[in-house]
């Protein structure tokens, strides 16, 4: 077996970014940059600041993608017609599959903590789901499976499976390493897309990553990580089988073709007209990112 395919081979960082900040939000990845490299992971925001900003999210649409929001510090309150009311603290998850069109943005509000931090990730969906039914889940931290330093947000880890109804072939983990603690992640075979982003603390050694930074790993092998001696390191790490489709995007949508995007945008428009959210016939920008 070649060294490249050996299960003991180690991945190293091939790209890194600090993104672009705007108020409490730092955009680390979008479909036109690292999302093209890491698809189905196509968009990542790090949010951190006064918890009051949680109540300022306007109602907005999505189609063709899924979003997953993970809290790394503080807490949100959620109020959802299906999931009821509750709290999303460290490890709590908001999952939303937009499918053929949805409007959202007022389900989360400030919790008890003065500050909040976490990540919102977008996933490109496969053709069979991109214009399918909408699905949402709000799952409190106590219901999320954990093993050692790892909370399983999407997919599987250490024999544990996340309750989030995400597509197969995607793993997404929330990890907290204590000062000096080392940890190894072995992505499943075929998970050539792999990355991490640090919310708090710092990773040191060959795969050093600082607070607020996102790192992209090469394909194949394990990922060796270690927290600095000074404080804990809190980060998310994702791996997946590559998304074999173009990224065709609107303002808030990601699809696999122009036809699928048009269908999703039509669904958004129809919902808006029924809810009196925006005028009929209003157009959106469209872009195609392929690779």
Q: Looking at residue 274, what is its pLDDT?
A: 83
Is the pLDDT confidence value at 69 over 90?
yes
Q: Looking at residue 152, what is its pLDDT?
A: 98
CA distances from 221 to 130, 218, 273 (A): 31, 9, 50
- Taken in order 252, 257, 38, 64, is the CA torsion positive or negative? positive
Tokens of 130: 């991109």
Is the pLDDT confidence value at 290 over 60?
no
Of residues 65 and 278, the one with the higher pLDDT is 65
Q: Is the distance from CB of 214 to CB of 17 less than 8 angstroms?
A: yes
Of residues 252 and 258, the one with the higher pLDDT is 258
Q: Looking at residue 283, what is its pLDDT?
A: 40
Average pLDDT over residues 169-186: 98
Q: Looking at residue 119, what is its pLDDT?
A: 97
Q: Looking at residue 286, what is its pLDDT?
A: 37
pLDDT in tens, 201-253: 999 999 999 999 999 999 889 999 999 999 999 999 999 999 999 999 998 89
Measured in Å, how far apart are the chain's first and last C-alpha atoms? 29
CATH no. of 13-289: 2.60.120.10
The DSSP string of the chain is --TTT-TT-B--EEEEE--EEETTEEEEE-TTTHHHHHTTEEEEEEEEEEGGGGGGPPPEEEBSEEEEEEEEES-EEEEETTTEEEEE-TT-EEEEE-TT-EEE--SEEE-SSSEEEEEEEEEEPPHHHHTS--EEEEE-GGGS-EETTEEEEESEETTEE-SS-PPTTEEEEEEEEPTT-EEEE-PPTT--EEEEEEEES-B-STT-B-TT-EEEEPSSSBEEEEB-SSS-EEEEEEEE----S-EEE-SSBEESSHHHHHHHHHHHHHHHHHHT-S-TT-----EEE--
Q: How far apart are CA 100 and CA 104, in angstroms?
A: 14
Q: Which residue from 43, 44, 118, 104 is spatially nearest to 76, judged by alpha carbons?
A: 118
Q: Looking at residue 272, what is its pLDDT?
A: 85
Q: Residue for token digits 């399918």?
A: 132
């Amino acid at each position: 077996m070649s060294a490249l395919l050996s299960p003991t081979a180690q991945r190293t960082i091939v790209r890194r970014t600090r993104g672009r900040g705007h108020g409490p939000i730092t955009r680390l990845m979008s479909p036109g940059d690292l999302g093209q490299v890491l698809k189905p992971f196509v968009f990542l925001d790090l949010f951190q600041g006064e918890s009051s900003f949680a109540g300022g999210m306007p109602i907005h649409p999505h189609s063709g993608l899924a979003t997953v929001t993970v809290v790394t510090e503080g807490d949100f309150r959620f109020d959802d017609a299906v999931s009821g009311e509750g709290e999303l603290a460290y490890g709590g998850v908001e999952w939303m599959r937009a499918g053929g069109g949805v409007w959202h943005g007022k389900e989360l509000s400030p919790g008890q903590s003065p500050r909040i931090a976490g990540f919102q990730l977008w996933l490109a969906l496969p053709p069979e789901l991109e214009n399918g039914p909408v699905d949402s889940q709000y799952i409190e931290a106590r219901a999320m499976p954990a093993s050692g330093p790892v909370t399983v947000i999407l997919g599987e880890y250490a024999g544990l499976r996340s309750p989030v109804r995400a597509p197969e072939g995607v793993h997404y983990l929330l990890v907290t390493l204590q000062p000096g603690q080392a940890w190894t992640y072995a992505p499943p075979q075929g998970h050539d897309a792999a990355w991490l982003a640090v919310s708090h603390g710092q990773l040191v050694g060959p795969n050093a990553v600082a607070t607020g930074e996102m790192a992209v790993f090469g394909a194949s092998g394990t990922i060796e990580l270690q927290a600095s001696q000074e404080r804990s390191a809190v980060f998310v790490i994702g791996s997946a089988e590559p998304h074999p489709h173009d990224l065709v995007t609107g303002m808030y949508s990601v699809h696999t073709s122009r036809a699928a995007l048009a269908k999703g945008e039509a669904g958004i428009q129809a919902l808006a007209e029924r809810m009196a959210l925006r005028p009929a016939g209003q157009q959106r920008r469209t872009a195609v990112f392929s690779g």
